[in-house]
C-alpha cells in the first residue's frame, strides 16, 4: 500500500533512511529542511501488509527520488510519477531507479550514470599536518568563486558569491582552500549537508598548480572535519581517473547514481 507520509510517520521514515545516510543524503536533507507538509515537497511511503515501511518516494519541486532497501512497489511509484504534470527529473541509486524505469510512460531525453562513492570513517585518511589548508569564510568567497570559475571542467557551473554565501549561512555547505603567493590554487567543498551526511563537490586545482597534491590535501582536511562531526561523506564522479584520487583517500564505490531528465 502506498500513501502520503505525514509528520506522524517520521519515526518510521527515519528508521528506514538513516540505515544508509550517504545514499539518502538528499532525502534526509529535504525532510530536515522542509518536513512533510509543503506545497513543493511530498513524500509517499510504500507499506507492507504488516504495516512496516519498505520504500519511499520523495518529490521535491520537479524532482523525484525513490528509495528502498529491497522489494517495493515500483509500478506504484511510477504511477505517481506518471500522473504528475510538472515532473522533470528522476534520480536515485541505479538498482532502485532501474525498477521504476520500465513503468514510466514519458520518454526521457537524457539518462546519465555516475559513480557513487562514500566515506564513513577516517581510517585511511592521512595524518599529515595540513595547517596550510584553510576553511573558507564568507570574506573568502569572491576569491574562491574566481578560482572555481577559472576551472575548465567547471565551465557552465555558474558559481556565484551569492549562492556560496547562501549555502554557508544555512549550514549546508563549507569550503576549504590552499593559497599560494596570494592566489587560491586549490579547493574542495561540501553541499547538501544534513545532520548525518554531506556531499563533496567542486574539488579543483588551478591549471598552473596541478600534480602537487593540493586537491588531496583539501579533501583530506575537509573529510577529517566532517567525519569528526559524525557524518558520512559521499560524492559523484564520471571519470574513473578522478575516482582514483577519491579512492586513495578512502572513498569506496557503493553503486551508480542515475539521473533521468524528461
Give the Cα separation of 121 and 24 in Å (integer).
17
By the 8 A CB rule, do 110 and 261 touch? yes
At 220 the three-state DSSP class reads: helix
Residue 114 domain-assigned (yes or no) = no
Look at residues 126, 214, 146, 141 and name the one whose alpha carbon lies nearest to residue 174: 141
151, 92: one domain: no
User: What CATH number did the domain enclosing 223 receive?
Assistant: 3.40.630.30
- Which domain does 14 fall in, by range? 2-106
Q: Clarify whether residues 100 and 135 are in a common domain.
A: no
Q: How far apart are CA 178 and CA 176, in angstroms?
A: 7
Quick one: 94 and 210 in the same domain?
A: no
Instruction: Please state the pTM of the whole predicted model.
Output: 0.88
What CATH number is attached to the domain comprising 70?
Answer: 3.40.630
> 80 lies in a domain?
yes
- The 10 Å CB-count burial string (b at 16+, else e) for 236-256 is ebeeeeebebbbebbbeebeb
Q: Where are the alpha helices (DSSP H) in the chain?
A: 10-17, 25-34, 74-82, 94-100, 141-150, 161-170, 214-228, 240-249
- Final residue of a domain: which of 55, 79, 106? 106
Q: Is residue 112 part of a domain?
A: no
Does residue 167 belong to any structural domain of this protein?
yes
Question: Do 151 and 29 share a domain, yes or no?
Answer: no
User: pLDDT tens per residue, the chain (262 residues)?
Assistant: 999 999 999 999 999 999 999 999 999 999 999 999 899 999 999 999 999 999 999 999 999 999 999 999 999 999 999 999 888 999 999 999 999 999 999 999 999 999 999 999 999 999 999 999 999 999 999 999 999 999 988 877 789 999 999 999 999 999 999 999 999 999 999 999 999 999 999 999 999 999 999 999 999 999 999 999 999 999 999 888 778 889 999 999 999 999 999 9
Judgement on whether residues 48 and 123 belong to the same structural domain of the protein: no
Domain match, 131 and 237 both: yes
Any domain includes 205:
yes
**Which of 79, 106, 133 delimits the end of a domain?**
106
Amino acid at each position: 500500500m502506498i500513501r502520503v507520509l505525514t509528520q506522524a510517520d517520521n519515526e518510521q521514515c527515519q528508521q528506514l533512511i538513516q540505515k544508509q545516510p550517504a545514499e539518502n543524503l538528499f532525502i534526509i536533507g529535504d525532510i530536515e529542511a522542509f518536513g512533510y507538509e509543503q506545497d513543493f515537497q511530498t513524500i509517499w511511503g510504500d507499506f507492507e501488509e504488516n504495516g512496516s515501511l519498505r520504500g519511499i518516494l520523495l518529490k521535491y519541486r520537479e524532482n523525484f527520488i525513490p528509495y528502498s532497501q529491497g522489494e517495493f512497489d515500483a509500478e506504484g511509484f511510477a504511477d505517481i510519477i506518471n500522473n504528475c504534470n510538472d515532473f522533470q527529473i528522476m534520480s536515485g541509486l541505479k538498482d532502485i531507479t532501474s525498477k521504476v524505469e520500465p513503468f514510466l510512460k514519458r520518454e526521457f531525453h537524457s539518462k546519465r550514470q555516475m559513480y557513487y562513492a562514500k566515506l564513513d570513517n577516517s581510517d585511511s585518511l592521512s595524518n599529515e599536518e595540513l595547517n596550510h589548508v584553510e576553511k573558507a569564510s564568507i570574506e573568502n568567497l569572491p576569491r574562491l568563486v574566481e578560482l572555481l570559475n577559472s576551472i575548465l571542467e567547471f565551465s557552465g557551473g555558474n558559481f556565484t558569491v551569492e549562492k556560496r554565501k547562501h549555502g554557508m549561512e544555512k549550514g549546508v555547505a563549507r569550503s576549504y582552500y590552499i593559497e599560494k603567493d596570494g592566489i587560491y590554487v586549490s579547493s574542495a567543498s561540501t553541499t547538501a549537508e544534513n545532520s548525518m551526511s554531506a556531499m563533496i563537490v567542486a574539488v579543483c586545482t588551478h591549471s598552473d598548480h596541478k600534480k602537487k597534491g593540493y586537491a588531496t590535501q583539501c579533501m583530506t582536511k575537509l573529510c577529517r572535519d566532517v567525519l569528526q562531526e559524525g557524518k558520512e561523506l559521499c560524492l559523484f564522479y564520471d571519470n574513473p581517473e578522478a575516482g582514483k584520487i577519491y579512492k586513495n583517500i578512502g572513498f569506496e564505490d557503493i553503486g551508480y547514481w542515475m539521473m533521468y531528465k524528461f
